Chains A and B, each alone.
Chain A
Amino acid sequence: MSDLPHKTIELNDGDAIAVIGGGPSGSFFSYFALEFSKRFDLDISIDIYEAKNFTKIGAGGCNHCGGIISETLVQKLSTDGIIIPSDIIQRGVNTYTLHTEQGQTVIDTPSHEQRIASVFRGCGPKGCTANSQRSFDNFLLGLCKKKGANVILEKISKAERIDDGIMIRSKKNGNKKYDLVVGAAGLNAQTLKMITGLCPDIIPPKTTRTYISEFYIGKDQVDSHFGNSMHVFLLNLANITFGALIPKEHYVTLVLLGKDIDDKTVKNFIASEQIKGCFPKNLDLKDAAPCKCYPYINVKAAQNAFNDRVVLIGDSAASKLYKNGIGAAYITGRAAAKTAIFEGISKKSFEKYYLPICKDLSLDNSVGKFIFFVTRFIQGSKLLKNGLLHMVIHEHKKEADKRLMSTALWDVFTGSAGYRNIFLRFLNPKLLLSFFWSIIVSNLHRKNYKINEKQQARTTL
């Protein structure tokens, strides 16, 4: 970061903000900037540029995401007075089913109420015939419009710094001068390049490829095979850190996270008995998912993602590792809005008030990397997975506040708590002792069980 002094620049009545990207981070920024400016008696205008039309079905209206709104975010939004309409929620998730090669178990929500929402970011997968008003991103954009934001459905073609602002050019809207430009274009390389041109010191985020596909099985089959449970898989398969099946209303979304997921990795995963066992027997999984993509995710935050009159938010700046990307969009969008309205729009203001929030996410991700490293280690060990399953199954007999492993795993899978918080809970001596005991008991039990099975087989012969 440069040591050169930067003067404070503040927003004044009549100033205009351009938000490049109308996904969750752009919408959260716009919503809160308009809310805070109203509280502050500041008269500003916001234009949101979004190239996608979220009322379209398929890739043209989708921001390529598993579509989980975490428990923490649902609670924060409710506190803010934002209630996600039932039409937008595909399904309320209240349990997680953990699958390993050794067996499976269900982890209940600690609160016994539906607090996690599964949604479609767009209006549904390719081939979907349902009504076209069920996009989460479109719902958020609608909230911004109600607050007074102007949504411009086109790409920007140029972003150029001028004396007292930034000029944004788009085909239909022409040239317009803005006092602040907010980069919320996710990891879209072309738009990101244009915006980052305004921040010469920026180091863009590091990314990796993931996989998402949508299986249509119909509402009745989703109800009977998945219910309101998200299925997570700790399987010993190369390159996969985490695999999940997320139930929607008529569809099930497969999300694979790991290191540069490719076609071969996906085929191996889908071919596993644990995955096939979740779906109806007659369904050929190879042909059941016409809507699939390999989107990039942010795995290392951008550096210096701001300058005078420019700030990057959401995936363009910092995200949560593997989980709760929408939650990170909320955190960065809200923090940037607070800084812009209450503290100023200079590099100095963003450095002082916005950067610590991004650094906090990065620090949490460093701990998250370690947690996922340990998870990978457990995934590769039958011994440890037996212990893990045994412990979670036995915790179900205990009161909610004594389910140490189940609640920690719940937060790992749902992204409901920060990785530092989860890590400290994993270090709880009671949890560690209980885990070691479970490893011993479960593996001895399995050994005895196998010996009994062999003896029984001999007797029968």
Chain B
Amino acid sequence: MKNNKLGQLYKDGEIIIKKGTTGNCLYVIQEGMVEVIDENNGHEVKIAELGETEFFGEMGLFEKDVRSCTVRALGDAKILTIDKRTFYKSIQQDSSLAYRLLEKMSNRLRQANQIISRSNNSNE
């Protein structure tokens, strides 16, 4: 991984967000990959793998609740933090900046609905 990429370097397996902790920023992957994991009773379930240009931690921008999943680097990854204040100031000046975030959240909601639907069907 080149040193001149922006953001902070996380080594393979290093935790970026820990489930249950508080946080108020958004993360954008500059280089590399991360995995989103839900931990339940000591068991890990991989929810998703995310790559360059994708973001995570968006719930922290809108809710004051704790982080819902753990996110860790899958191989070395460079991650840029978007501060809550910077984000809100930017969308205050130009609301179209929030479009991509809404689009992605809408995609993720659709995927979650599909998983719930499949799970209900298999239980029946």
Contacts and interface: CB of A to CB of B under 8 A. Distances in A.
Interface in B1-49: 2-8, 26, 28, 30-31
A92 B97 contact: no
A114 B7 contact: yes
Contact of A78 (B82, B94, B96): B82
Interface in B75-92: 80-83, 86-87, 90
Contacts of A83: 28, 30-31, 52-53
Interface stretch (A68-76, A253-261, A425-433): A68-76
A90 interface: yes
B62 interface: no
Interface in A50-92: 72, 74-76, 78-81, 83-84, 86-87, 89-92
A36 interface: yes
Nearest to A114: B6
A113 B80 contact: yes
A89 B52 contact: no
A79 B90 contact: yes
A111 interface: yes
B8 A80 contact: no
Nearest to A416: B86
Contact of B6 (A39, A117, A249): A117
A319 to B, nearest CB: 17
Interface string A277-292: 0000000000000000
A39 to B, nearest CB: 7
A36 B96 CA distance: 9
A167 interface: no
A79 B6 contact: no
B94 A335 contact: yes
Q: For the side of the interface on A, what is the size category?
A: 20 to 34
A116 B8 CA distance: 12
Interface in A213-253: 249
A92 B100 CA distance: 26
Contact of B99 (A39, A86, A90): A39
Contacts of B66: none
A335 B93 CA distance: 10
A115 interface: yes
B83 A78 contact: no
Contact of A84 (B6, B55, B83, B97): B6
Contacts of B2: 86-87
Contact of A115 (B6, B26, B53, B96): B6
A394 B90 CA distance: 32
Contacts of B87: 75, 79
- Residue of B2, B28, B99, B101 contacting most chain A CB atoms (<10 Å): B28
A86 B4 contact: yes
Contact of B8 (A74, A75, A114): A114
Interface of B: 2-8, 26, 28, 30-31, 52-53, 55, 80-83, 86-87, 90, 94, 96-97, 99-101
5 contacts: A36-B96, A79-B101, A83-B53, A86-B31, A113-B80
Interface of A: 36, 39, 72, 74-76, 78-81, 83-84, 86-87, 89-92, 111-117, 249, 334-335, 338
